[in-house]
Amino acid sequence: MTEKNPPSDMFVSPCQSKCQLDAFTGECIGCGRTSKEIATWTRMTHYERMQVMKRLGYGKRTTTQNRMAREATRRNALNGRKD
């Protein structure tokens, strides 16, 4: 039997304690979640959280590269550049 909501000690979060929503993308500059995802995170099922984590690129070998590219895109957007 698969458990939909594992115990809280198994709680996973992409939060990086850099909480600030990007005005251009509407996503957090630290973790990449939307404000709705952040607000509902603790009420999501384990499956829903894992879907968000998958969208954010977690679980891939290139996670760091993807995250760095996403952060560079955001910085460029904030600075008005289109690199």
Q: How many domains in the chain?
A: 1
Identify which has the larger pLDDT, 32 or 73: 32
Tens-place pLDDT, residues 34-55: 999 999 999 999 999 999 998 8
Q: What gap in Å lies between CA 68 and CA 17, rounded to an integer?
A: 16
46 part of a folded domain: yes
3 part of a folded domain: no
What is the domain range of residue 39?
13-78
Q: Where are the beta strands (DSSP E) in 1-83?
A: none
Tens-place pLDDT, residues 25-35: 899 988 999 99
The predicted model scores a pTM of: 0.61
Q: Mean of the pLDDT values across residues 64-75?
A: 72
Neighbouring residues of 23: CB distance < 8 A, sequence distance ≥ 6: 78
The pLDDT value given to residue 48 = 94
55 part of a folded domain: yes
6 part of a folded domain: no
